[in-house]
Chains A and B, each alone.
Chain A
Amino acid sequence: MSLELRGITKAFGSLTVNDSIDLKVEAGQIHAILGENGAGKSTLMNIVYGLLKADSGEIFVDGKIQNISEPSDALSAGIGMVHQHFMLIPVFTVAENIVLGHEKIGKFGVLDIESAREAIIRVSKDFGFSVDPDAIVETLPVGIQQKVEIIRALIYEAKVLILDEPTAVLTPQETDELLKTMQELKSKGTAIIFITHKLREVREVADQITIIRRGKVVGLVSPDTSEGELASLMVGREVDLAPEKHKHEIGNPILIAKNLSVRDAMGTEVVKRINFELRAGEVLAVAGVQGNGQSELARAIVNLEDHIEGSLLLDGKEIRGLSIYDSLHAGIAFIPESRELDGLVGSFSIAENLILDLHDQAPYAKGINLSVQVVSEQAEKRVKEFDIRLQSVSDAVSTLSGGNKQKVVIARELSRPIKVLVASQPTRGLDVGSIEFVHERILSERDAGRGVILFSTELEEVLALADRIAVMYRGEIIEIVDSKVSKEELGLLMAGVVKSKAGS
């Protein structure tokens, strides 16, 4: 089956998000759509899937024009979609989720779940998935949840499968598995539309790549195109993919963790007696598969966790047990994992978000008053310095794109006198242009003699930025290695395989 889009145009108000887009996918082909966040990829796919209505343009299935105005039209035309935010009911079982919308009725009007269970088991077997049809979806890891979505599309015989940013939520291992599954589907004749902004993945699996920038198709290229070329097509200018790391002197230890442990609310030890020394002027990357205690360790450094044991010395002073406020003002900058949840107050203005940490201090505060004038003047300065793209500093921060939100967080955190920068997944969900900016900022802090501790699940990022790499596995730092380590070795370490112990 083939799918063709001709001249799809869609505008929200005065903003044209899709500008006469053409696209063609054939059976047994993986067609990647590459573009930055906000380029209009998801909008385009929501149009194909019937969730949004195009202002103009046509959709052809097997050469015949197809009117798709509801998701049910897309489904019956053989188009399936795995959404970026999973479309599964968290409290339902896998089987219930798969039945939903395609219910079969048995005796006395009773819902037939059994045949869906069998179908799930059959498809799981075909693709080597291990999915329990009776598991409650919210208890499953995201990688498995995604497989449930794929299984659903397969059971209902999708001939065209749209994957919307499927790797954004996956660990490196899960990503590799997904890419393998995609190849397998392709060999069985499924046409796949693969939406992403990650260059490596595209080059690995795609047969053709359509690049979209600001709602327009700017190129249809083959996967041999170099990463640099792809990136500059995507962003519209030259992009520095591997930031330059200047050699320089590394200073004295500035942050020392001794036997640091963190327990979660259930009492389980998620970080287990960790020891490390972070020196001034170095980037210490903490690598590991998500869920091995990195998030908790990052939060523990600013005392955001409730149950911390051991010792944490900042420039020789104990900071464990300080309030979060005191931790920040002792000289730690913190870029949290989730900027929406922990980094910003969505409904506050950009100017207000920029002084969340300093609102009670001069020059922003005068007695019990906040001097609005100074706040907005300072905001304008920061906006220029950090190249934050916005309409007005008094707009709510939630109106910004992901990259610009992250710039607001970084601008705020680096505006205090700091000794150590803690960056937790600082580029998660960002586009190439913003990633470049964040990397430059992190390295400039390093060059200015600050200690940087970077938590990242992206191997490329870790290798590009780090001076030393600490690998976390099941709550422990199992090895601290030099940044010249190979990707394969690092991958093995992240899976818990330690060289020195491998023989014994």
Chain B
Amino acid sequence: MSEIRTSVEKRRIRGIGVLSIFSAASFIYFGLLNSASEKTTFGFVLDNEWVIMKEWVISSASGSRIFSTLAILASISAILAYRKKIAVTIPASVATFGIFMSFLTWIAAGKFIPLTGLLQGALLLAVPLVFGSMSGLICERSGVINIAIEGQLLASAFVSGVVASLTHKSIWGLIAAPIAGAAISFLLATFAIKFSVDQVILGFVINVLVIGLTNFLYKKLLIPYQSTWNTAPTFEHIKIPILSKIPIIGPILFSQSIVVYLMYVIVAGITFALYKTKWGLRTRAIGEHPTAADTVGIDVNRMRFKNVLIAGLVAGVGGAYFTVGSVGSFGKEMTAGAGFIALAALIFGKWSPIGALMAALLFGFADNLQSTLTIIGVSIPSEFMLMVPYIATIIAVTGLVGRVRAPAADGIPYLRGGAH
């Protein structure tokens, strides 16, 4: 009898295959065909952290060869690990890292790459995505589709900017933002849960409404009276003693504004709450099989309503990041689709908080890589660079991510006794 493979195995084989081919291709293209005699410089220091190595200079060609050799070796060990039925996560990650570094060494020949700066920028670009995807996560785990993340982010960015401008205190902006997010959630919850309106259409309509409303107010209020209405102060960066001194990761993770620290707390909190508490168990239950939850005495719609409001609060903090968390003043449609990318991160991350966080970081990283490379002036057109995040997504989804399954009752209004 021929060997039978399950679909999971097939996907894993495909994933390892793609990695091996990419490893070999990067060795040939970035390594062997690399005739550049220039050197690539990697910078490691951002701030006044303890320094191990300030920068690392390597010839572009041999650097690429070293990293792609690493990728090839990792691919081989992934194949061996698969044969022996051991988890392939680590070798696969190493191979991906090798391919990426090989590419970076090749493309930045003769240039300076601030490696830590690249990571720090990635984190900052990911912040609103993380808050947005956490908002989506709480809603969808409860069984309510949240397309309105974009609207939540935009509305709370606007409100926090305006409130901080009027009070001259950024903290009031941060406090007002979640309220604005929750107000949008209230709209979503009322129509989705009370009136069973189609949640996808509803979400889009809310987004359009918020965009229209903020554009109008921006034009009629924020532009003509800018000095009173749109000059929000921003948060100072808080350096955490000792932690911020750690080489490489210190300045990336621990020299940030309060909004970023809030993000750590919220992601950890949601992860804990979702899997370890009564609230989490009930939330997951009403998103999977609301009738079953009802029969054990859980008020499904009340809990969904509450959770959608909580999700609004979370998204609100993400909205505040756009204004008081970074640039201060509000700009027209300044969220620029972050809510939708957050939604993609949620799905890519398989509706789990850590998964969504990772996906958001990946999107943030790809985005920042693209702008960094454009700034240092590489030969690849920036339009191509914009595709990088999506190519990464395709590879990850086809090869590395397992079966993606939404909460079973996601988007379905709950009506008791609907069977009759």
Q: Report whether B297 and A70 are in contact in the complex, using a CB–CB cutoff of 8 Å.
A: yes
CA distance A51 to B276 in the complex (A): 29
- Would you call B284 an interface residue if the criterion is a C-beta within 8 Å of the partner chain's C-beta atoms? yes
Contacts A89-B289, A111-B276 known; list 16 others, CB within 8 Å: A49-B295, A70-B297, A71-B296, A72-B297, A87-B289, A88-B289, A88-B292, A89-B293, A91-B288, A100-B285, A100-B293, A101-B296, A103-B278, A103-B281, A109-B276, A266-B4
CA distance A235 to B354 in the complex (A): 57
Chain B 255-296 interface mask (CB, 8 Å, partner A; 1/0) = 000000000000000000000111011101100110111111
- Would you call B417 an interface residue if the criterion is a C-beta within 8 Å of the partner chain's C-beta atoms? yes
Q: Report whether A51 and B295 are in contact in the complex, using a CB–CB cutoff of 8 Å.
A: yes
- Would you call B83 an interface residue if the criterion is a C-beta within 8 Å of the partner chain's C-beta atoms? no
- Would you call A502 an interface residue if the criterion is a C-beta within 8 Å of the partner chain's C-beta atoms? no
Which residues of A sit under 8 angstroms from B284, Cβ to Cβ?
89, 91-92
Min distance, Cβ A311 to any Cβ of chain B, angstroms: 20
Residue of B nearest to A70 (CB): B297
* A contact patch SS: loop
Q: Report whether B295 and A81 are in contact in the complex, using a CB–CB cutoff of 8 Å.
A: yes
Which residues of B sit under 8 angstroms from A111, Cβ to Cβ?
276-278, 280-281
Q: Report whether A92 and B297 are in contact in the complex, using a CB–CB cutoff of 8 Å.
A: no
In this complex, the member of A51, A83, A86, A105 whose beta carbon has the largest number of chain B beta carbons within 10 angstroms is A51
Say which residue of A51, A99, A268 sits within 8 Å of B417 (CB atoms).
A51
- Would you call A102 an interface residue if the criterion is a C-beta within 8 Å of the partner chain's C-beta atoms? yes
In this complex, the member of B281, B408, B417 whose beta carbon has the largest number of chain A beta carbons within 10 angstroms is B281
- Would you call A171 an interface residue if the criterion is a C-beta within 8 Å of the partner chain's C-beta atoms? no
6 CB-based A-B contacts, threshold 8 Å: A51-B416, A75-B297, A89-B293, A101-B282, A105-B277, A111-B281
Chain A 469-500 interface mask (CB, 8 Å, partner B; 1/0) = 00000000000000000000000000000000
Min distance, Cβ B274 to any Cβ of chain A, angstroms: 11
- Would you call A341 an interface residue if the criterion is a C-beta within 8 Å of the partner chain's C-beta atoms? no
Min distance, Cβ B64 to any Cβ of chain A, angstroms: 42
Which residues of B sit under 8 angstroms from A81, Cβ to Cβ?
295
Q: Report whether A75 and B296 are in contact in the complex, using a CB–CB cutoff of 8 Å.
A: yes
- Would you call B81 an interface residue if the criterion is a C-beta within 8 Å of the partner chain's C-beta atoms? no
Among B84-113, those with CB < 8 Å from A are none
CA distance A92 to B282 in the complex (A): 11
CA distance A120 to B298 in the complex (A): 22
Given known contacts A71-B296, A83-B295, A100 and B416 CB-to-CB distance under 8 angstroms: no
Among A26-79, those with CB < 8 Å from B are 43, 46, 49, 51-52, 70-72, 75
Which residues of B sit under 8 angstroms from A267, Cβ to Cβ?
4-5
Given known contacts A12-B420, A267-B5, A87 and B296 CB-to-CB distance under 8 angstroms: yes
Q: Report whether B5 and A100 are in contact in the complex, using a CB–CB cutoff of 8 Å.
A: no
Residue of A nearest to B405 (CB): A91
Which residues of A sit under 8 angstroms from B4, Cβ to Cβ?
266-268
A-B pair count, CB < 8 Å, reads 81
Which residues of A sit under 8 angstroms from B276, Cβ to Cβ?
109-111
Q: Report whether A101 and B293 are in contact in the complex, using a CB–CB cutoff of 8 Å.
A: yes
Which residues of A sit under 8 angstroms from B281, Cβ to Cβ?
96, 99-100, 103, 111
Given known contacts A89-B285, A89-B292, A100-B296, A105 and B417 CB-to-CB distance under 8 angstroms: no
CA distance A101 to B293 in the complex (A): 7
- Would you call A90 an interface residue if the criterion is a C-beta within 8 Å of the partner chain's C-beta atoms? yes
CA distance A103 to B284 in the complex (A): 14
- Would you call B35 an interface residue if the criterion is a C-beta within 8 Å of the partner chain's C-beta atoms? no
Which residues of B sit under 8 angstroms from A105, Cβ to Cβ?
277-278
Say which residue of B285, B292, B420 sits within 8 Å of A43 (CB atoms).
B420
In this complex, the member of B5, B408, B420 whose beta carbon has the largest number of chain A beta carbons within 10 angstroms is B420
Which residues of B sit under 8 angstroms from A109, Cβ to Cβ?
276-278
Residue of A nearest to B282 (CB): A100
Residue of B nearest to A265 (CB): B7
- Would you call B379 an interface residue if the criterion is a C-beta within 8 Å of the partner chain's C-beta atoms? no
Given known contacts A51-B416, A90-B288, A101 and B297 CB-to-CB distance under 8 angstroms: yes
Which residues of B sit under 8 angstroms from A71, Cβ to Cβ?
294-297
Min distance, Cβ A117 to any Cβ of chain B, angstroms: 14
Which residues of A sit under 8 angstroms from B7, Cβ to Cβ?
265
Chain B 294-308 interface mask (CB, 8 Å, partner A; 1/0) = 111110000000000
CA distance A102 to B295 in the complex (A): 12
Which residues of B sit under 8 angstroms from A49, Cβ to Cβ?
295
In this complex, the member of A49, A52, A102, A109 whose beta carbon has the largest number of chain B beta carbons within 10 angstroms is A109
CA distance A90 to B6 in the complex (A): 22
Given known contacts A87-B291, A110-B277, A102 and B296 CB-to-CB distance under 8 angstroms: yes
CA distance A236 to B406 in the complex (A): 47
Min distance, Cβ B278 to any Cβ of chain A, angstroms: 4
Chain B 216-231 interface mask (CB, 8 Å, partner A; 1/0) = 0000000000000000
Which residues of B sit under 8 angstroms from A89, Cβ to Cβ?
284-285, 288-289, 292-293
CA distance A128 to B286 in the complex (A): 32
Which residues of A sit under 8 angstroms from B420, Cβ to Cβ?
12, 43, 52
Residue of A nearest to B289 (CB): A89
Min distance, Cβ B152 to any Cβ of chain A, angstroms: 27
CA distance A72 to B420 in the complex (A): 21
Q: Report whether B294 and A51 are in contact in the complex, using a CB–CB cutoff of 8 Å.
A: yes
CA distance A201 to B190 in the complex (A): 48
CA distance A234 to B289 in the complex (A): 34
Which residues of B sit under 8 angstroms from A51, Cβ to Cβ?
294-295, 416-417
Among B28-78, those with CB < 8 Å from A are none
Q: Report whether A87 and B295 are in contact in the complex, using a CB–CB cutoff of 8 Å.
A: yes
CA distance A116 to B284 in the complex (A): 18
CA distance A91 to B351 in the complex (A): 14
CA distance A70 to B7 in the complex (A): 44
Which residues of A sit under 8 angstroms from B277, Cβ to Cβ?
105, 109-111
Given known contacts A52-B417, A100-B281, A90 and B296 CB-to-CB distance under 8 angstroms: no
Min distance, Cβ A197 to any Cβ of chain B, angstroms: 18
CA distance A49 to B289 in the complex (A): 18
Among B313-340, those with CB < 8 Å from A are none
Residue of B nearest to A99 (CB): B281
Residue of A nearest to B420 (CB): A12
CA distance A81 to B296 in the complex (A): 10
Q: Report whether B408 and A90 are in contact in the complex, using a CB–CB cutoff of 8 Å.
A: yes
